[in-house]
Amino acid sequence: MRKALRHLRTADPVIGGLIDRIGPYRIKYLEPRFDSLAKSVVYQQLSGKAALTIYTRLSDALDGEVTPENVLKLRPAGMRKLGLSKQKITYIRDLAAHTRGGTLDFAALPEMGDDEVIEALTRVKGIGVWTAHMFLIFALRRPDVLPIGDLGIRAAVRKAYALEQMPAPGDVEDRGRCWRPYATVASWYLWRSLESKAGM
């Protein structure tokens, strides 16, 4: 981690300033399992607080065992009462079906490259590149992921670099080239730089 922080400080003084202000890198990881990806689906397009509330209800309804089998036993109407949208119910059930059927093999993902993981995950309905990026960062612990479409990252870049407008994903990608091969670390500091921790 010292090597990553040294690189980021040298490559980008703005990120270096965030590192000095925020302190040690303390990312919280998830296990690379079905429940972690289901949680990422719940978090799509919601504030961290709202998503955590809904996911906690789902977990409680399944007695803490968020597995494909248990999810598929829940009726969609029951999932709706937990606060899940109809769309997310479809996505989570499709994810459960893919996992139970073996077309998505979580045990194989750690051996795949980042692009291969994104390709495998985005075959599932409702799993887009943002969700795949979150899984790469928080479950597979990949060091060089830059989620350019994440609103929190874009807002943090705007704030940190005093930009007049919200940067487009391509602008974030251009700015972040100097962070590689530690874009994940830079992303974490950007999230933490916001008053809200973006649910991370």
CA dihedral 169, 170, 172, 174 (to 10 degrees): 170
End-to-end CA separation in angstroms for the chain? 19
Residue at 22: amino acid letter: I
Question: Where in the sequence numbering do the catalytic residues fall?
Answer: 150
Q: Tell me the C-alpha distance between 143 and 184, whole Å.
A: 5
Helix/strand/coil for 121: helix
Cα–Cα distances in angstroms (integers) from residue 200 to residues 80, 86, 160, in the given order:
25, 25, 18
Q: Tell me the C-alpha distance between 146 and 80, whole Å.
A: 33
Considering only CA atoms, which of 41, 47, 54 is closest in space to residue 151? 47
Q: Dihedral sign, CA of 45, 51, 57, 58? A: positive
